[in-house]
Structure 1
Amino acid sequence: MTVSRLIARPMLASMFVVGGINALKNADALAAKAQPVADRFVPVAQKAVPQAPIPTNAVTLVRLNAVTHIAAGLALATGRAPRLASTVLAASLVPTTLAGHRFWEESDPAAKGNQQVHFFKNVSMMGGLLLAGVDTDGKPGLAWRARRAASDAKREARQLAKDARREARLAKAQLT
């Protein structure tokens, strides 16, 4: 792991670990903000995955999201499955942002500005998480490996065809 990854991953993850701990401590207070988002997304999730036990209680959803932030944040910070951890954090950041920073509903200009800053901070963090999610740590990713294997197979097939034509010409020359 490079020094930049060694430093950047814990820095990016720190907000999620601290925020997750805070959300666990204040789940009841945060549930009121999460309720409108839960009311819209829980039925969609239940329809998409009917066999999954999706909680409907906003306090439970806040706690579940907090545990997700802590676990995935620690995984990202320690370099354990960093691509998966950052992808999970990016996905969980969507409802967190929509529930916590609804600046379009604020009427007070100061509160609206504050919520807008936090909303776009989360959007920026999502960008960082998406980059971390595709970071292969300097190693070739699966897509590159697949393209490379296809290219190698194509080159090998061309070489085999060329060799077969040469062998056929030699065999023909020996017969005549």
Structure 2
Amino acid sequence: MIVRRIARPMLAGIFVWGGINALRYPTAHAPAAEPVTKPLATKTQLPDDTELLVRANGAAMVAGGALLATGKAPRLASALLLGTMVPTTATHNFWAESDPQAKAGKLTQFIKDVSLMGGLILAAVDTEGKPGVAYRAKLAGEGIERTARQARKSAAREAKLAALQAKQAVS
């Protein structure tokens, strides 16, 4: 559909641009990312290198954005981009700002990121009009059930016929 061909690159653009920016200038992003990356590194097996994690997040954004923009694996790309947005959104800690102007700016960025996450969720579940996995699994289950029911009826018929033939053979 033409809407998807237009909307996907539009949604992906911010991620490609932001990812390239993070790859090129990780030092500029490190101060904002550090309050998120340091606790994350201590609780997981991730390295304790904020700039490396900023670059990795940026690379994931470029890759996911490129896949989404080109329509290659758009659901997977959207899910990947959604994963990059969680730490990015957490860096806009507007609640910790005392300066009203800085707080308003961070709040705007936070709301923008949450809005982007909503768009990514929609893109991640978009089946392009084709039945989803749950529907197809239900349909397959119904088909198996129907086949089993038919097999039971057929087996019962065959058993009755065999019993009748055996009875006639004895007589």
Q: Tell me, which stretches of 5 or more residues in structure 2 are unaligned?
A: none
Q: Does 1:81 align with 2:73?
A: yes
Partner of residue 35, structure 1: 34
Q: Does 1:160 align with 2:151?
A: yes
Q: Tell me, which stretches of 5 or more residues in structure 1 are unaligned?
A: 47-53
User: Considering only aligned residues, what root-mean-square deviation do their CA atoms show, in Å?
Assistant: 1.6
Equivalent of residue 160 in structure 2, options 142, 165, 169 = 169
The aligned amino acid for 1:145 is R
Partner of residue 118, structure 2: 127
Deviation readout 1:6-58 (Å, 9 max, x if unpaired): 11111111110111122233321210111111111112221xxxxxxx33211
Distance in structure 2 (CA, Å) of the matches to 1:17 and 1:25:
12
Distance in structure 2 (CA, Å) of the matches to 1:14 and 1:55:
28
Deviates more, 1:103-112 or 1:132-141: 132-141
Q: How does 1:53-64 map to 2 (within 5 A)?
A: 54-64=46-56
Deviation readout 1:119-161 (Å, 9 max, x if unpaired): 1211121121122112222233333322221110001111111
Provide TM-score, normalisation by structure 2: 0.89
Number of equivalent positions: 167
- Pick the structure with greater CA Rg: 2
Q: 1:115 Cα shift?
A: 1.2
Deviation readout 1:99-124 (Å, 9 max, x if unpaired): 2x111111122221221121121112
Q: Using CA pairs under 8 Å that are at least 6 residues apart, name the structure with larger relative contact order, 1 or 2.
A: 1
Distance in structure 1 (CA, Å) of the matches to 2:98 and 2:47:
32
Distance in structure 2 (CA, Å) of the matches to 1:21 and 1:156:
54
